[in-house]
Amino acid sequence: MSDPTPPRSAINNNPAIATPADQSQYSGDITAAQQAQITSAAIDPAALASVVRELSQSNPQAAATIAALATKANPAAAEQITQAVTGAVPDAFVVVGMVVVKNAPNSAAAITEILSKQKPASAAYIAASLTKSTNANPAQAAAIAAAATRAAPTQALNITSAVVKVNPSSASAVASSVAVTAQGTNTGNVVTTPTAIALAASKAIGSISPDTTIFQAVATATNTPAATLNSDLEISKATDSVNRATSATSQVSSNVDSYSGYANNADSFEAPQAEANNNDAQSNNPPVGTVTEDDNVDNTSADQDDASPNQPNQF
């Protein structure tokens, strides 16, 4: 009979992280007319999703810009906007998610789950990026990390490590939330024990040994005796996987900082004023001698070329 115990390498397997494609290419410009399409459709989430999908398909380089403008127009449609834009431009998922939650922070966990289901191998990047974009407090960071874990449970250690690295003050909340979420999932041979998650969070804040505060929080959240959670046996079983997660997320913080810059570019976009509007604005100050009767401009004001200069102006 074969030994039913999996080999150590299988027990301590931690999946790789898929680094997102170049996110710098999705913050391009759109026209004033296209922005007007977004504004006009804003009241109806379904119509808005349809518009942003079409605009993103025709101008993928502006996917994040389109998502930002649409979310500003109707934050309640954040989920529909996310699905529409990333459906049209799948590789823009990180920067699109960032601009959407920047303008609809209450939707951050829902957006994280949507994107992590689309790109489970990048769930750690998604959770860390959206945590950064919302400037999340510990409770928000915990909700984002839990959402990513629900969508991609085998990435639990990577998610924990990545989110805590961009938001160290949330370490205990994130580790507790991920540990509780992972308990209800089937992750096969991938280690997602409460001990492993607490250890991953400890290493993410730079601790060379298990952090007492984090371990106590996870023990309480998972109803696990602290002595068991922090036992030499459990630590030994978790160490290899945690080290791999720590290594896999080594570039997350710097990459997320770059994504933040691209998201900010998209979020600050303002379409140039349409030429017609510029002309309209100028028509209020016609050149000397210009006849403006059919422009609905009051011609009784003091024009130097008034045909009846001796007539007093009527106000």
Single-letter amino acid, residue 266: A
What's the chain's average pLDDT? Answer: 86
pLDDT of residue 54: 98
- Give the model's confidence band at 272: pLDDT under 50 very low, under 70 low, under 90 confident, else very high: confident
CA distances (Å), origin 249, targets 38, 195, 240: 37, 19, 14
- Given the structure tokens 């609905």, which residue do they identify? 296
111, two tokens: 């957006």
Contact 211, 256 (CB under 8 A): no
DSSP string, 20-60: PPP-GGG-----HHHHHHHHHHTT-HHHHHHHHHHHHHH-G
- Give the model's confidence band at 273: pLDDT under 50 very low, under 70 low, under 90 confident, else very high: low
The 10s digit of each residue's pLDDT in 91-138 is 999 999 999 999 999 999 999 999 999 999 999 999 999 999 999 999
pLDDT of residue 274: 54
The helix/strand/coil state of 13 is strand
Q: How far apart are the first and last CA of the chain?
A: 105
The 10s digit of each residue's pLDDT in 196-223 is 999 999 999 999 999 999 999 999 999 9
The helix/strand/coil state of 190 is strand
Report the share of the chain in percent with pLDDT over 90: 77
For the cut 70, the answer to whether the pLDDT of residue 305 exceeds it is no
Structure pTM? 0.83
pLDDT of residue 312: 44
What is the rounded average pLDDT of the residues 171-189? 89
Rounded CA gap, 257 and 165, in Å?
12
Closest CA to 155 of 220, 252, 233: 252
What is the rounded average pLDDT of the residues 269-290? 52
Q: Kindly give, in sequence order, each residue whose CB lies less than 8 Å from that of residue 75, ignoring residues fewer than 6 positions away.
A: 103, 104, 106, 107
